[in-house]
Amino acid sequence: MSIIIQNVSKAFGDVDVLKDLSFEVKTGELIALLGPSGSGKTTLLRSIAGLEVIDSGNILFHGDDTKDKTVQERQVGFVFQHYALFKHMTVFENVAFGLRVRDKKSRPSESEIERKVHELLQLVQLDYLGKRYPSQLSGGQRQRIALARALAIEPQLLLLDEPFGALDAKVRKELRKWLRRLHDELHITSVFVTHDVEEALEVADRIVIMNEGRIEQIGTPEEVYHHCANAFVYQFIGNVNLFHGRVEDKVAHFGNVSVSLPETSEQETKDTVFYVRPHDLDIHHSAPDSTAFKAKIDHVHLAGPVVRVDLTSEWGDPVHVEITQDYYLSMTFQKGMDVFVSPKDGRLFMQDYSI
């Protein structure tokens, strides 16, 4: 089922949580709503499910407006961050709930319910837990049961609210790979909310990046990672160094470094910020070119796949650089050493863009 979000706005009291949002989810897609807390992503998800009422705009399922449809009528599968399993029911009864509450005409027979529940429990690989109670399961098992329960009503749309948010790092990673595989099997249109960039990049077909109730960028993981639409996305999607400077006569000045910008259309003098990822900075013993600046090594973190070096630039700003273990060993950098740092890549955003 396709979803169209058209100019959706919502406020809680004086606070605008959704500000004129529009986008589309195609049939069978797996979409991530990514953003920091307070960006409105969960409110948007709950609005799609019908658990919140939007103030203006339209949400269309398959081209039909959902304005007058109750939660029950929308028939969406919803998975909650804290599972929301029914504590007093067994796993089996939890999954069977959506079938048992149907009216007499459409309710399947007892044997049909049993067959269906076991099929779903097999799908989430937990058929052997049917007689247990939710409190006897681990977090990862609970979330898979919650998913099986949501799938029992055969939803056309699956909504997941920070589905792995309450799990520890290792289980999270396993479960998100598993979710991706499950989606490839079932092809149910799915939207999940996350604040974990890595999770969104790994799992989603497309990512909607939200901030303060607005959409900052929509695109595939590759697009949002390599072609950030603006300063916010650039900062949110990965670690970043900020260099504040000024653009004057098509030349940008940062500390003692000047870079000419022949293509800029800026005429007047403006404040600017240069964004560079830690792995796009190099450290040298002597200045390789005019873009290099002096810095002092404060600390070297050797644990991990890359070496992380903390420095202070000659004008006093902290700088973070990531270099390979091999490069580190060949160059013999040490704490307290004066070195030169030069950027390989980066993005310039004018300061009037608010972040």
Partner 1 sequence: MKRHAAITEPRWIRYLLIGISILFLISFLITPLILIFVKAFEGGIGLYLKAFVEPEALAAMRLTALVVCIAVPLNTIFGLCASWAITKFEFRGKGFLLTLIDLPFTVSPVISGLIFVLLFSDKSWLGGIFYNLGIQIIFSTPGIVMVTTFVTFPFVARELIPLMQSQGIEEEEAALTLGATGWQTFWRVSLPNIKWGLMYGIILCTARAVGEFGAVSVVSGHIRGLTNTMPLHIEILYNEYNFTAAFAVSSLMVFGALVTLLIKHYIEWRMKGEKRL
Phi, psi of 60 (to 5 degrees): -105, 130
Give the integer Cα–Cα distance in Å for 324 and 282. 10
x-marked contacts with partner 1 along 313-342 as a string, rule CB under 8 A = ------------------------------
The full DSSP string for 187-219 is --EEEEEES-HHHHHHH-SEEEEEETTEEEEEE
Using the rule CB under 8 A, which residue among 101, 186, 302, 350 binds partner 1? 101
Smallest gap, in angstroms, from Cβ of residue 238 to partner 1?
33
Binding-residue total with partner 1 (CB under 8 A): 27
Q: Pick out residues in 78-97 that bind partner 1 (CB under 8 A).
A: 78, 80, 82, 84-88, 97
Sheet architecture: strand order including 318-324: 281-284, 338-343, 293-301, 306-313, 318-324
Restricting to residues 41-80, which ones interact with partner 1 according to CB under 8 A? 49, 51, 71-72, 75-78, 80
**Using CA atoms in the order 135, 194, 180, 127, what is the torsion angle rounded to 10 degrees?**
10
Q: What's 108's DSSP letter?
A: P
- By beta-carbon proximity to partner 1, the closer residue of 75 and 351 is 75
Q: CA of 243: how far to CAs of 118, 240, 346, in Å? A: 58, 10, 10
CB of 12 to partner 1, least distance (A): 10
**Closest CB to partner 1 among 135 and 334?**
135
Start-to-end Cα distance in the chain: 35
DSSP H helical ranges for 204-342: 221-226, 231-237, 325-331
CB of residue 145 to partner 1, shortest distance in Å: 12
Task: Provide the minimum distance between the beta carbon of 134 and partner 1 in the complex, in angstroms, as a whole number.
Answer: 8
Among residues 133, 178, 225, 315, the one that binds partner 1 under rule CB under 8 A? 133
Smallest separation, CB 74 to partner 1 (Å): 8
Q: Does 120 bind partner 1 (CB under 8 A)?
A: no
Which is closer to partner 1, CB of 100 or CB of 181? Answer: 100
Binding residue for partner 1 (CB under 8 A) from 136, 258, 260, 324?
Answer: 136
**Residue 254 carries which side chain, given as an amino acid letter?**
F
The Cα angle at residue 143 between residues 140 and 146, in degrees rounded to 5: 155
To partner 1, the closest distance from the beta carbon of 166 in angstroms equals 12
Long-range contacts of 298-301 (CB under 8 A, 24+ apart): 298/335, 299/335, 300/328, 300/333, 300/334, 300/335
The site string for partner 1 over 142-161 (x = CB under 8 A, - otherwise) reads: ----x--xx-xx--------
Under the rule (CB under 8 A), what is the footprint of partner 1? 49, 51, 71-72, 75-78, 80, 82, 84-88, 97-98, 101-102, 133, 135-136, 146, 149-150, 152-153
